[in-house]
Amino acid sequence: MSGDRQGTPHWFDDEAGPVVRPYAMTRGRTSTAGQHRLDLIAVVVAQPHAAGAEADHALSPEHLDIVGLCRDTPRSVAELAAELDLPVGVVRVLIGDLAEEDMVRVKRPVPPAELPDESVLRDVIDGLRAL
């Protein structure tokens, strides 16, 4: 980047991205209370009783979009961010809100310290070969 070469470590104009406007949806929050950082491949599922989410006026349209997307098909955090065209950080906060309200469940992937079972890895290999 030309800015870097001139010794300025900052990004200007469009290069800086849409600064913080997307965080208006989270009312400026970048995390929610008592929440571990959600992995990009954590899976989000709408709770059966979330069908009435539309009636909850505390929820924003983006919250409702997430509930709608996860209603029939569980979706990963990365997929939700891509489909809603929102930064991952924003989507994490919104999912945290919904989890707190018990509108969605979040299934975390295998803990980082451990590899999945050997049988799972074998299934992955067989599955890849069969593609």
Partner 1 sequence: MIFGRSERGRAPVEPVTLKILVAGGFGVGKTTFVGAVSEIKPLRTEELLTEAGRPVDDLSGVEGKHTTTVAMDFGRISVREDLVLYLFGTPGQERFWFMWDELSTGALGAVVLVDTRRLEDSFAGVDYFERRGIPFVVGVNCFDGADRYPPEDVRQALDLDPGTPVVLCDARDRASVKDVLVTVVEHAMRRSAGHRAPVA
* Interacting residues toward partner 1 by CB under 8 A: 9-11, 15-20, 22-23, 28-31, 37, 39-43, 45, 48, 51, 68, 71-74, 76, 78-79, 81-83, 87-90, 107, 109-112, 115-116, 118, 120-125, 127-129, 131
CA distance 23 to 87: 9
Smallest separation, CB 101 to partner 1 (Å): 18
User: Nearer Cβ to partner 1, position 29 or 101?
Assistant: 29
Smallest separation, CB 77 to partner 1 (Å): 9
Residue 96 is encoded by which pair of tokens? Answer: 């945290």
Residue 79 is encoded by which pair of tokens? Answer: 């997929």
Backbone angles phi, psi at 44, to 5 degrees: -110, 130
CA distance 128 to 61: 38
